[in-house]
Amino acid sequence: MERRTALKNIGLSFGALVLTPTVAGLVQSCQTAETGWMPEYLTAEEATLAEKIAEVILPTTPDIPGATDLNLIQFMDKYLLTVSSAEEREAFRMSLDVFSSLAQKAADKESIEDLSLDDIDQQLDKYLRATDEEKSSRQEAFNAYMTALEEGADAMPPLDGIAHVFLHNFRGLAVFAFKSNVIIGEEVMAYVPVPGQQKGCVSVEEATGGRAYSL
């Protein structure tokens, strides 16, 4: 894909994430860790970084399994390969590369393998846990860049803006995969295999102990 066209695609999200039969099949196929699993779309290095990001966003706790326990990187790799468009895949890869460069520079690390979960967490602090003003500034810089590309003008890619958009899209896909996992659906979320009585005008805390319902 021509570089300029690829850069325009960085603004693409994964669209409306819906648990279609195809996606449900992907979720089911990733329930059990595969011995010697290798990514099909991502490179091994990209998968390593994506897995680290997912684990920081969805860490393992004493009561709830995390991204690594649930093999979310396997789902995300297969989702990119079989569900996402070629443009979305390229956007993901280029954005991941931008984030990788920023994370390595900030942590003074020479490779993705050298990045620790703490290094990744510091970047999430910077982008996902930023102030509203910082988020707005990065989004505006990103929007201005995309407008310039659409108008055929040369513009310097706003690296912070790209990382901001990438991490928000990444988090959306990771959380979608997490909530679609059968372990989370049946053991963590409020799960009612056969809907029963309806109770109107009650709080979520009263109805389910504060847990969202599994679909």
What is the pTM (predicted TM-score) of this model?
Answer: 0.73
The helix (run of H) or strand (run of E) holding residue 94 is helix 86-107
- More confident call, 91 vs 196: 91
Residue 206 CA neighbour count, 13 Å, CB half: 5
Asked whether residue 201 is assigned to any structural domain, the reply reads no
Asked whether residue 199 is assigned to any structural domain, the reply reads no
The whole-number pLDDT of residue 75 equals 85
**d(Cα 136, Cα 148) in Å, to the nearest integer?**
18
Check residue 36 and report its DSSP letter. T
Q: What is the pLDDT of residues 20-61, one digit of tens each?
A: 545 556 656 556 556 678 888 999 999 999 999 999 998 888
Asked whether residue 190 is assigned to any structural domain, the reply reads no
The whole-number pLDDT of residue 16 equals 46
The whole-number pLDDT of residue 51 equals 93
Asked whether residue 215 is assigned to any structural domain, the reply reads no
Q: How many CB atoms lie within 10 A of CB 157?
A: 15
Asked whether residue 46 is assigned to any structural domain, the reply reads yes
Asked whether residue 105 is assigned to any structural domain, the reply reads yes
Asked whether residue 45 is assigned to any structural domain, the reply reads yes
Closest to 80 in 3D by CA, of 103, 100, 56, 96: 96
Tally of domains within the chain: 1
Containing structural domain, residue 172: 3-180
> Is residue 144 scored above 90 in pLDDT?
no
Asked whether residue 203 is assigned to any structural domain, the reply reads no
Partners of 190 in the β-ladder:
213
Q: How many CB atoms lie within 10 A of CB 54?
A: 26
**d(Cα 84, Cα 140) in Å, to the nearest integer?**
26
